[in-house]
Amino acid sequence: MCGIVGFTNHVDDPDRVISAMMDRIRHRGPDAEGRYTDEDIALGHRRLSIIDVSSSGDQPIFNEDGTKVIVFNGEIYNYREIRDELKAAGHTFRTNTDTEVLIHGYEEYGPELLGRLRGMFSFVIWDKTSRELFGARDFFGIKPMYYAKMGNTLMFGSEIKSFLEHPAFVKELNTTALENYLTFQYSPTEETFFKNVYKLMPAHYFLYKDGKMTIKRYWDVHFEADGKPSLDQWVERISDTFHDSVRAHKIADVEVGSFLSSGVDSSYVAAIADVDKTFTVGFGKDEKYNEIGWAKNFSKAIGKENTSKVITPEEYWGSLSMIQYHMDEPLADPSAVALYFVCNIASEKLKVVLSGEGADEIFGGYNVYSDPDGTWYDRLPRGLKRGIGSIASKLPAHRGVNFFVRKGKDVEERFIGNAYMFTPAQRKELLRAETGAPSPQTITSRYYKRVQGKDDVTKMQYLDLHMWMAGDILLKADKMSMANSLELRVPFLDKEVMGLAEKIPTKYRVTHSEGTEETNYITKYAMRLAAKKDTPEQTAKTAAKKKLGFPVPIRVWLKEDKYYGIVREAFESESAKEFFNTAPLIKLLDDHRDGKADNSRKIWTVFIFLVWYRVYFENNGAY
């Protein structure tokens, strides 16, 4: 696992500039560094040594005749098989790295190489002969890739902060991204919070030549249910496929550990991975916010060592500026901080951990997926529900009223992902300036169009796979692990696992309780049964345990004078007044403290933006 940076065109002293950019992301690879420059390009690499840990694996790496050069971030789990194919085709290798497999593979197959890969990756290859740059990002977006065109220069790399060191970089806030963020809690499009800086989206590659960039999608998820296998057969297939994925994800020349919460996903990984160490964090002693006791008992039952940490409120709040610095863009997911600390304690003992991200999106695990057909009301005629919803929308907001409003809308109208913070009307009330940001439904529509005719559960899964997972779940997983020079691997997010999951009928992804032990699971139904099958008998109850996933008590903290005061000071700052109307912000905060409403997530969304803005625009990228 590593970090990459680069730029095209001419600057004075390119070695100095690329070195400064590399220094910004040293945390991604403290073991080694390397660079390549010529009259048209500069490439830089920071290395965290995992495979072929000798210096022969240092990057950049060249092909046989030195006409192509690569910098790579990630792991290719089937590189040995591809390497054998390439050797048979006449390619000569000088290392045992997966990096060299990529450059020879691109020589042999061109962009079609991407379809042969199994792993997580972002990389660029410079062809010195054709003067063409090729870059790609993995299937799910596990590894990041950003780019910016500033004047005649193209910058690219693993983290936006490296661009700050380039003399052509112009730092401007993208207020459109701010307005979108207020609804989604993350940046939901190709645009970032920095104007003219973009993400290469998951499962896409680019070609850049003579100042022109072409971007293409090379892979997608296709939910096509196969109704022939029985439930028991699906459970067996899930078990076999996931065991194979975990084996592949353990390939390393260093020790591998595993994160552990109380949910089925991380427990399933830890139970079958046969690692020696697991890692857990929590808050206080309340079981609502602390899973350490459960994790220690589970680890003991499977014969593993558990390392844990209780995060104090002072540590949590004191780390926010540093967290947002590493995040590059504001992310209002409170669990990102908990993830930082569990990565931190793991990094003290090893370099690689396995984690359970992706299971909910792939196998249908979020509770909201049981909503489309979860009650008798859902089986009423669509027109009747829409009429009732229209009437209900004119009434004062209330839990029961909101139910009818929500049920009166099609999934495309009401579901934008697992977080819906501020409605378009609410964010307009908050913001001082008109940004021209699209509606949430405009952003999500391009994904819904690809799954027209599918059932609502499938539509929601597809949306989350392409938006929520890449924009929130995987963003924090990469940035928080790399902040600690730790490689985080996600065996659920495997091309083979996805190829199986997209064929599982909806009724085996999300089912409804019938009051028996065998049908007691609502979401991730078939996967839970597979986990139960593969989990030691004394710990099999984890398959039915409600997941908490490192929960954070911000709702409680925001009612305490100390933390209420910190947020109020931010809301009344000059930066806040530049972007927001202060009165509605203070009302959100006061109503929450007074118990009139739980506004904690909305408050957090605005507050985190202000923390991030202070780091990057008031402190010039310092925390």
Task: Tell me: do 91 and 169 sit in the same domain.
Answer: yes
pLDDT at 53: 59
User: What are φ and ψ of residue 75, in 5° steps?
Assistant: -140, 135
Which range among 37-46, 151-160, 407-416, 591-600 shows the weakest confidence by mean pLDDT?
Answer: 407-416
Task: Tell me: do 254 and 327 sit in the same domain.
Answer: yes
Active site residues per annotation: 2
CB 56 within 8 A of CB 93: no
Instruction: Tell which of 527, 544, 561 closes a domain.
Output: 544
| Residue 376 DSSP code | G
Does the structure show a pLDDT above 80 at 378? Answer: no
CA distance 618 to 385: 50
Which range among 28-37, 222-231, 378-387 shows the weakest confidence by mean pLDDT?
Answer: 378-387
Tokens of 75: 């792991």
Tokens of 151: 């004047």
Provide the pairing of β-strand 132-137 with 146-150: unpaired
Ranges assigned E (strand) in 10-98: 32-37, 41-47, 61-62, 68-76
Instruction: Tell which of 522, 544, 566 closes a domain.
Output: 544
Task: Tell me: do 339 and 488 sit in the same domain.
Answer: yes
pLDDT at 70: 97
Asked if the structure places residue 478 within a domain, the reply is yes
Cα torsion 50, 123, 622, 187 to 10°: value is -120
Asked if the structure places residue 303 within a domain, the reply is yes
Q: How confident is the model at residue 284 (pLDDT cuts 50, 70, 90)?
A: confident
Tokens of 289: 């916010």
CA distance 32 to 467: 34
pLDDT at 366: 92
Asked if the structure places residue 402 within a domain, the reply is no
CATH code (residue 341):
3.40.50.620
- What integer is the mean pLDDT of 23-43? 93
Q: How confident is the model at residue 370 (pLDDT cuts 50, 70, 90)?
A: confident
Asked if the structure places residue 287 within a domain, the reply is yes
Task: Tell me: do 241 and 358 sit in the same domain.
Answer: yes
Q: Which residue has the tokens 């969304």?
A: 605
Report pTM: 0.93
Task: Tell me: do 285 and 209 sit in the same domain.
Answer: no
Task: Tell me: do 210 and 261 sit in the same domain.
Answer: no
Which range among 192-206, 219-233, 382-396 shows the weakest confidence by mean pLDDT?
Answer: 382-396
CA distance 238 to 365: 15
Provide the pairing of β-strand 197-199 with 204-209: unpaired
Task: Tell me: do 63 and 169 sit in the same domain.
Answer: yes
Asked if the structure places residue 317 within a domain, the reply is yes
Does the structure show a pLDDT above 90 at 397? Answer: no
CA triplet 592, 418, 444: central angle to 5 degrees?
A: 120
- What integer is the mean pLDDT of 40-69? 83
Tokens of 44: 């830089």
CB 469 within 8 A of CB 141: yes
Asked if the structure places residue 423 within a domain, the reply is no
Domains contained in the chain, number? 2
CB 238 within 8 A of CB 259: no
Asked if the structure places residue 619 within a domain, the reply is no
Strand ranges of the sheet holding 32-37, from the earlier edge strand across to the other edge:
32-37, 41-47, 2-8, 153-157, 146-150, 197-199
Task: Tell me: do 242 and 306 sit in the same domain.
Answer: yes
Asked if the structure places residue 202 within a domain, the reply is yes
CATH code (residue 94):
3.60.20.10
Q: How confident is the model at residue 398 (pLDDT cuts 50, 70, 90)?
A: low
Instruction: Tell which of 479, 512, 544 closes a domain.
Output: 544
Share of the chain above pLDDT 90, in %: 76
pLDDT at 155: 97
CA distance 385 to 378: 8
Task: Tell me: do 211 and 236 sit in the same domain.
Answer: no
- What integer is the mean pLDDT of 359-373? 86
Segments forming the whole domain that contains residue 307: 231-364+467-544
pLDDT at 236: 97
Best CA proximity match to 115, nearest among 229, 219, 247, 5: 219
State pLDDT tens for residues 446-462.
Answer: 999 999 999 999 999 99
CA distance 80 to 94: 14
Does the structure show a pLDDT above 50 at 517? Answer: no
User: What are φ and ψ of residue 256, in 5° steps?
Assistant: -120, 135
Does the structure show a pLDDT above 90 at 614? Answer: yes
Does the structure show a pLDDT above 50 at 427? Answer: yes
Task: Tell me: do 204 and 272 sit in the same domain.
Answer: no
Distance of CA 380 to the CA centre of its chain: 37
CB 78 within 8 A of CB 117: yes
Average pLDDT, the chain: 91
pLDDT at 518: 46
Cis check: omega of the bond before 60, within 30 degrees of 0: yes
State pLDDT tens for residues 541-599.
Answer: 554 455 555 578 999 999 999 999 999 999 999 999 999 999 999 999 999 999 999 99
Q: Which residue has the tokens 């459970």?
A: 235
Q: Is 274 exposed, middle or buried (0-12, 13-18, 19+ CB in 10 A)?
A: middle
CA distance 271 to 306: 13
State pLDDT tens for residues 98-140.
Answer: 999 999 999 999 999 999 999 999 999 999 999 999 999 999 9
Task: Tell me: do 129 and 43 sit in the same domain.
Answer: yes
Task: Tell me: do 248 and 212 sit in the same domain.
Answer: no
